[in-house]
Amino acid sequence: MPDPSSVPLLAINFQAIRDFFHDGGIFMYALALTSFVALAAIVFKVLSLRREAVIPAQLERDLDQLGQRAANGQAEGLISRFGEGSTLARLCGVAVEHRGKSRADITEAVQASAKDEIVQLNSGMTILDTVITVAPLFGLLGTASGLVVIFQGLGETTDHDIVARGIARALDNTIVGLAIAVPAVVAHGWFSRRIEVLTSRLEMLLAKVARTLEGAPVPASQPNLPRVPEKP
């Protein structure tokens, strides 16, 4: 008989995990799927809410000096970089497209595009909401179904130890459901706060851009639309 200490630890863990899910019943597999979905949503939000993907630090520093650069006639190099990459750059690109107009017109155009960007920032949050609701329910369903099976078999055995172990295994579903929901709640709260902070910072920076581009002359390199001759 092989020495248990000689068995690889990884193999023991996989066997224990398989037995754990098998003993928990069908709802334990539903909880496993829910946990993978929650993990994927959290990883997606971490990547999509990176500072470089929304408000790059270098672009933010440049925008803080946009008014001074515009006064010195050095803003064109910065403006030429708008519209590429990050959320802030894309919205600044929309503002540049309406340069020379009133601040209200520029702000309205940016706000229209910002609605779509905000939707993109909130993508994935609905999945976390669903996981927070569904995971504990799957756990309760697994526990309830396990208890029903145990109580139906009470007449077949008088061994209280077997009944106690069966109840403990049924309650594992509830524990796993809560263990999935709690990190999802924490992540949802952090992501929501992160989106609020980023949105507030975007509004402040874009207001500065609109103020700078208000009434600014359109560069001669941009083609002008042909004028339609007036009818006599």
pLDDT per residue of the chain (232 residues) written in tens, 0 to 9 = 445 555 454 445 666 666 666 666 788 888 989 999 999 999 999 999 998 889 888 888 877 776 666 555 555 656 666 656 788 888 888 887 877 788 888 888 888 888 998 999 999 999 999 999 999 999 888 888 877 777 766 666 566 666 666 677 778 888 899 999 999 999 999 999 999 999 999 998 888 888 877 755 555 444 443 444 444 4
Place of tokens 């109580």: 151
Is residue 96 within a helix (H) or strand (E), and if so which, with residue range?
Answer: helix 87-97
Instruction: Note down the domain range covering 167.
Output: 17-213
Cα torsion 130, 132, 138, 144: sign: negative
Count of the separate structural domains present in the chain: 1
Query: Does a structural domain hold residue 9?
Result: no
Termini Cα distance of the chain: 107
